[in-house]
Structure 1
Amino acid sequence: MKKTICLLVSLLTLSSYHSVINAQEVVRKSYAYFSLEPDIVTNYLGSSARKLGFVRVSIELMLEDPDFLEAAEHHSPLMRAATIEVFGSQPEKKVKSLTGREDIRLSCLEKLQELMLKETGSKMIKDVIFTKYLYYQT
């Protein structure tokens, strides 16, 4: 019985020591968030030429490093234009569906990463987050 208790105590001690070492080795990466302001309002392709649809989106960009905030602010007009271009080329069904919205978000992410890679030499953007997403059709 004493041997079992000693064995359990030693195992717990070793495992907690190992956890402390692993925790010290983990380096937390810090991110920053940049808001494309004001909200993006643009048209999308309606189901017919007579119907006009528009979408209003608030976009937050998750940047890979807080040091990229200044570059993001500098390039925000380019990023807004690229995002408007992506939304303007989307069909109505995609704009109105949840899976389509996710496809649009990923398209925006890819387009923005591509642009930032060309402009700054770094992708900079880790993720794109839609915090407000409204669509309307007349």
Structure 2
Amino acid sequence: MGKWLLLLLTFVSAFNVNGTENQVLKNYAYYGLEPDIVTNYISSSKKRSFVRVNVELMVNDPQSLIELEHHDPLLRSTILEILGAQSEEQIKSMIGKESIRRECFEAVNRLLEQEVGERLVVNLLFTQYLYN
């Protein structure tokens, strides 16, 4: 349960026809994959090359955290595979990092759709991204 970070966010405001503001509450919750994901990547040099990533999964419903915890090993494995298949250029560039993040996001949601029948994750964040 220490992996769960719950945040109640009240960002979304909507205006009705009369121009008055209606508050729409969103209960976002975050699930952190712990420990950080560390893996080697494809490098053009002979030195040891690795990437270390801290991943947070954002969901709309705090109840989804139970499903994420249950499927944690599968999600972690998928992200590890994606990171390990990347080239040095992808790992080290800002555009590559964003491309990897989007690929991980899509892969995680595809797996969750297969396992639980719906796409639970609304965003995947790299809160720490280190490489050598």
TM-score by length of 1: 0.79
Q: Indicate the SS of the match to 2:35.
A: strand
Counterpart in 1 of 2:112?
Answer: 116
| Structure 1 unaligned regions, length at least 5 | 1-16
Give the partner amino acid of 1:39: D
Counterpart in 1 of 2:28?
Answer: 31
1:39-118 to structure 2, matched below 5 A, reads 39-48=36-45, 50-118=46-114
Q: Indicate the SS of the match to 1:69.
A: helix
Which protein has the bigger strand share?
2
- Based on CA coordinates, which of the two structures has the bigger radius of gyration? 1
Following superposition, the deviation at residue 29 of structure 1 comes to 2.6
Which protein has the bigger helix share?
1
Percent identity (aligned): 46
| Structure 2 unaligned regions, length at least 5 | 1-16
Following superposition, the deviation at residue 65 of structure 1 comes to 1.2
Following superposition, the deviation at residue 31 of structure 1 comes to 1.4
**Residue pair 1:45, 1:52 contacting (<8 A) in 2 also:** no
**Residue pair 1:116, 1:123 contacting (<8 A) in 2 also:** yes
Q: Alpha carbon RMSD of aligned pairs, Å?
A: 1.9
Moved over 6 A (4+): none
Give the distance between the partners of 1:133 and 1:107, measured in 2 at CA.
Answer: 15
Give aligned pairs, total.
118
